[in-house]
A and B are shown apart, each in its own frame.
Chain A
Amino acid sequence: DSGVTQTPKHLITATGQRVTLRCSPRSGDLSVYWYQQSLDQGLQFLIQYYNGEERAKGNILERFSAQQFPDLHSELNLSSLELGDSALYFCASSAINTEAFFGQGTRLTVV
């Protein structure tokens, strides 16, 4: 158990819909990262937050947004969903300048 909790574990939704993925980082970790992994692909970095502020942005679509709350949990919002958005979405957390620990992921299926 990495200590990073993601909910829900599975999500099935229709095209055009909006979903919110949730991540609780390990206790004390200030950094949260979001990644997208499509079938048999590598990890695509989406966005990073540090102590509530956006720190780095990767290949995140304009239809996607994220935020980190004062209690350090984070949410990734995906809107106007398309079939191609079906993927595993991972959250990871880290303390300052240390290794990142991953959650179990949310498997999103858009039908």
Chain B
Amino acid sequence: GQQLNQSPQSMFIQEGEDVSMNCTSSSIFNTWLWYKQDPGEGPVLLIALYKAGELTSNGRLTAQFGITRKDSFLNISASIPSDVGIYFCAGQLLDSNYQLIWGAGTKLIIKP
């Protein structure tokens, strides 16, 4: 089936550091979504991207829809403790039945 490659799998960061993660695929997507999941909770939508090249910010978060429509990245600037969690990317394939394809997640951990 279709796959999204999300990297890194996990990140150990110091508070205040910038963070970057990305998702790539061999398929073309018409929508990219970034979610954050806290333990035991449902994923919460952070940013939605609908156009190739689109760069969208939500506070300290910035995400971009790749020009080739096959990738997306999420940056978090000046990380804080509440940024800890699992970040998922999801893409909606061109001409799909609105099905979302999911990355495996990036686990963000703050170093003590």
A interface residues (Cβ-Cβ under 8 A, vs B): 2, 4, 31, 33, 42-43, 45, 48, 50, 55-56, 58, 88, 90, 92, 94, 96-105, 107
Contacts and interface: CB of A to CB of B under 8 A. Distances in A.
Given A88-B40, A99-B48, A43 B98 contact: no
B31 interface: yes
Contacts of B102: 42-43, 45
Contacts of A88: 40
18 contacts: A2-B42, A2-B44, A4-B42, A42-B102, A42-B105, A43-B88, A43-B105, A45-B100, A48-B97, A50-B98, A88-B40, A90-B42, A94-B98, A97-B30, A97-B92, A99-B31, A99-B48, A100-B45
A107 B40 CA distance: 8
Nearest to A37: B37
Given A43-B105, A100-B90, 10 more contacts: A2-B42, A43-B102, A50-B97, A90-B43, A97-B92, A99-B48, A102-B35, A103-B42, A104-B42, A105-B41
B99 interface: yes
B66 interface: no
Given A42-B88, A97-B31, A97-B92, A102 B42 contact: yes
Contacts of B88: 42-43
Contact of B103 (A42, A100, A101): A42
Contact of B98 (A96, A101, A102, A107): A96
A102 B44 CA distance: 7
A102 B43 contact: yes
Nearest to A56: B99
Contacts of A107: 40
Contacts of A55: 97-99
Nearest to A58: B1
B44 A100 contact: no
